[in-house]
Amino acid sequence: MFTICWSQFYTTSDAHSSNFLLRVQCAAFCCPVHISNPNPEETGATKTTDPYRNKSRSDWLKSAEGTMGCVGSKEEHEPQGKETGIDELQNRIQTAHYVKDPTAGNSSKASKMPSNSSAGESIAMALFDYEAIHDGDLGFKKGEKLKILEEMGEWWRAMLISTGQEGYIPSNYVAKDTLEVEDWFFKGVSRKDAERQLLAQGNKVGSYMIRDSETSKGSYSLSVRDSDVQHSVKHYKIRTLDNGGFYISPRITFITLQELVNHYKKQGDGLCQTLTSPCLSPKPDKPWEKDAWEIPRSSLKLDKKLGQGQFGEVWMATYNKHTKVAVKTMKPGTMSVEAFMGEANLMKTLQHDKLVRLHAVVSKEEPIYIITEYMEKGSLLDFLKSDEGNRVQLPKLIDFSAQIAEGMAYIEQRNYIHRDLRAANILVNKALVCKIADFGLARIIEDNEYTAREGAKFPIKWTAPEAINYGSFTIKSDVWSFGVLLMEIITYGRTPYPGQTNPEVIRFLEKNNRMQRIESCPRELYDIMLECWKNKPEERPTFDYLQSVLEDFYTATESQYQQQP
């Protein structure tokens, strides 16, 4: 009933040192379990009103006093994929090498942008070079134009206008709207993500982006990196004129956004900084190969063993000689192939940029292989303990917390639960993006030490009292675990309840005691932990609320947008 943890060892280069660091990394197998029509009586829970249940994140964000107003951190996420469990697997074709991705057809089509062709054709421009690496792919160069023939999920069928060649292209490598081809335009980026990107390494004072407004559909916002002590990012609303023009300050207007950018590149004219260069935009990850779900074992080359755990091994591997992945191998007998495939198909439907992506499986025969995206810096726990992690300052620690809350808010929205949320089960990539390792295998593991609450592998120190005592796992028990995870983060990976054994922790909690605040922990952050550790599950906050509070930890009492210059 619980999760698999395998230690992974990664050798990574410290960004601030020439020394190579050997870091212990945990890739966790965490359990998102779908809940259909939960019945409180069945779990012994009390039917009590949840004070946070009907609170959306926007309800918790304050409005600014100034004329520029204040906007929420992020719009509500739309469900991605099915809301309910998938049907049982059909009989698998034993002779097939590749089996179709179970989420193909579930993914939303890309939003239709205004066509730039008078004939009504859908024309896109390449934002990056793409080299065809799969059968049926269409390669192209940055700046080339393509006619979109069919939109389906992450891969679109298109024709290269210059040659007439047809094939599949990664949808995140092209843009259909003329504004999207501008280096400074970032479509669909939230205010918080704009701050993360502008403060990332490589950007300097005056770096900027224009992005979609989160609160006013069809409007835009300008985000600029400032030179103040906090190296903060300032945000400006771009308002629209009735005739289609744009302005930040009403004393000067522009016909196009390009004119607006060019003006503020010449002079700050009231902005915090003169605009210098667009925010760096790294080439996005290529989508996983179309329809490659059940893949042949021969398509994988296991390059480096990263770790070994109770249930198998973890490898860095190469898929089809071109894509770096992580491969988890399951010891024979750990679970039935049928149970695994049923769960894996369900796991595949959970897709969010704060969840580790499940790419494919090898399940025709044992050992079962699970193929996921590769996370360069390994587990958050071991990153925090490393030299690089020890240099991370409080604002970034808060940001790690907000990222995890965002991923859990998605799981909450999809009516899943995690069951083993802790720093060892969060993975970190080279851009310091935290992702929840979300492999729902715990329900089908056959191991008494893993499934019994008194077993040695049971994570007592992270588990809510009702889950310890009654086996009642809900999204609210995940919230309790999140509070413990916050303490792990603020203490740079210290084990919770230091010096106490598991039985001592149980007795400690039965007396209504809680971990004490450490000196370096802000009082406001500790208050959030205490909210997560409420005795009654229904009194604990939602992850949606936790995300909004943590994202606005430093800005909740000030205007998120600057006054008109």
Copy the structure tokens of residue 470.
Answer: 């009654």
Q: Beta strand pairing status for 185-186 and 208-212?
A: parallel
- Angle of CA points 172, 175, 181, to nearest 5°: 120
E strand segments, 192-299: 208-212, 220-225, 233-240, 246-247
Residue 531 has φ and ψ, to the nearest 5°, of -65, -40
Name the catalytic one among 193, 382, 399, 420.
Answer: 420
Amino acid at 132: A
For the CA atoms of 335, 337, 339, 340, what is the dihedral angle to 10 degrees?
80
Give the number of other CB atoms < 10 A from CB of residue 49. 9
N residues, the chain: 565
E strand segments, 92-172: 123-126, 145-152, 155-160, 166-170
How distant, in Å, are the alpha carbons of 34, 53, 272, 543 from that of 37? 10, 16, 51, 20
Three-state SS string over 421-475 comes to CCHHHEEECCCCCEEECCCCCHHHCCCHHHHCCCCCCCCHHHCCHHHHHHCCCCH
CB 434 within 8 A of CB 400: yes
CB 199 within 8 A of CB 233: yes
H or E element at residue 338 = helix 337-348
The SS3 of residue 539 is: helix
- Confirm whether residue 328 is marked as ligand binding: yes
Copy the structure tokens of residue 489.
Answer: 């983060």
CB 295 within 8 A of CB 361: yes
The SS3 of residue 386 is: coil
Please count the helices (runs of H) and the strands (runs of E) in the chain: 14, 21
The partner residues of 246 in beta bridges, in order of sequence, read 240, 254
Q: Specify the DSSP class assigned to residue 340.
A: H
The answer to whether residue 183 is catalytic is no
E strand segments, 187-294: 208-212, 220-225, 233-240, 246-247
Which residues contribute to the annotated binding site?
A: 328
Q: Which residues are catalytic?
A: 420
Binding residues for ATP: 328
